[in-house]
Structure 1
Amino acid sequence: MFGADKGKADRMDGHKLSIGIVQARFNEGITNALAHACRAELLDLGVQEKDIDLVRVPGALEIPVALQALAERNRYDALIALGCIIRGETYHFELVANESGAGVSRVALDYQIPIANAILTTQDEAQALARQDDKGRDAARVAVEMANLLDELS
């Protein structure tokens, strides 16, 4: 059985990992907080500053194509998507949330690279503000754990 002797704690070592982050600028105050929390957690998990690359894009719909460009470089062990979509009065919220999520998943599957999806989809700004720090840290932990797990499985 793969990883039978490895526990979750063993998979949380980021010392040998290279991580790419794509951050949407739309709702920038929230996405900056996501990025700050994510970077801090990556460093706490042992990822070296020199092994963390950050790319900024206009909004959540642009995240998948930037993730794809990073995946094509073949230099990252995992990628992280950071964004914030807040429901408005039109159907646009559903379109952006669904299409960005589907795009992130497609890149992960097409390139067999773990992508931690921390694109917040909330009803209002208060919900986004309440989640920005935890979701940023969660994304870092997911990226490190999944990179190590896929390394075990290969």
Structure 2
Amino acid sequence: MEIGQYKPNHHGNGLRIGIVQSRFNEPVCNGLVEICLEELQGLGVIGEDILLVTVPGALEIPLALQKLAETGQFDALIALGAVIRGETYHFELVSNESSSCISRIALDFGIPIANAVLTTENDKQALVRISEKGRNAARVAVEMGNLSSALDYLNQDDQERSEAAVEEHRV
């Protein structure tokens, strides 16, 4: 039996990516954004197709993501931040609420969001994870932006697909 399969596409050419970065735990978050931007550009996303927005902390990330999603101008979004455990229960509240709201926005707006908000026990763990998490966020955003577009294409009826194909190949 032969089945159809969509293969992962990590080509970022033409994708518009919005990034929301928390400024709290600044050295970690600045590192995340630097590596993420580097990876996005390596995947072919050009600078003018990237919008970076900063917010005070992880709890503010979802509102900024929602506002970006509402514009309809982005193929994917990225959340960057760091929640590092302290001596109080606040860590659990911030990490759980931030993550939950990020997922809800992705589902409510039908837009991929790469959640790269680190949740670690200490600064050392956060610093060790910057490189991997920053790169992964970029790759996830590009792959899921492409997948989302491909699946949206499947939802079009035959007439819309024909018109889209004609437009795409028009010189």
- Give the shorter-chain TM-score range: over 0.9
Which residue is equivalent to 1:149? Answer: 147
Structure with the greater alpha carbon radius of gyration: 2
Q: CA–CA distance in 1 between the matches of 2:151 and 2:113?
A: 16
Instruction: Report the Cα distance in structure 2 between the residues aligned to 1:97 and 1:120, rounded to whole angstroms.
Output: 9
Name the residue aligned to 2:4. 4
Q: How far off is 1:65 after superposition?
A: 0.2
| Equivalent of residue 129 in structure 2, options 118, 128, 131 | 131
Q: TM-score, normalised by structure 2?
A: 0.86
Q: What's the offset of the Cα at 1:5? A: 5.0
Name the residue aligned to 2:163.
none
Task: Give runs of aligned pairs for residues 5-20 of structure 1, distance below 5 A.
Answer: 6-8=6-8, 11-20=9-18
TM-score, normalised via structure 1 length: 0.95
SS at match of 2:65: helix
Amino acid at match of 2:4: A
> What is aligned with 1:120?
118
What is the percentage of aligned positions where both structures have the same residue?
Answer: 60
Distance 2:151 2:116 in 1: 24
Give the unaligned 5+ runs of structure 2. Answer: 153-171
Report deviation, 1:4: 3.2
- Structure scoring higher RCO (CA < 8 A, sep ≥ 6) equals 1
Q: CA deviation at 1:18?
A: 0.2
Q: What SS does the corresponding residue of 2:111 show, helix, strand or coil?
A: coil
Aligned residues: 150
CA offsets, 1:76-130, max 9 Å, x none? 0000000000000100000000000011001100000000000000000000000
- Find out whether 1:49 has 2:47 as its counterpart: yes
Which residue is 2:80 aligned to? 82
Match of 2:59 in 1: 61
Structure 1 residues 2-41: aligned runs within 5 Å? 4=4, 6-8=6-8, 11-41=9-39
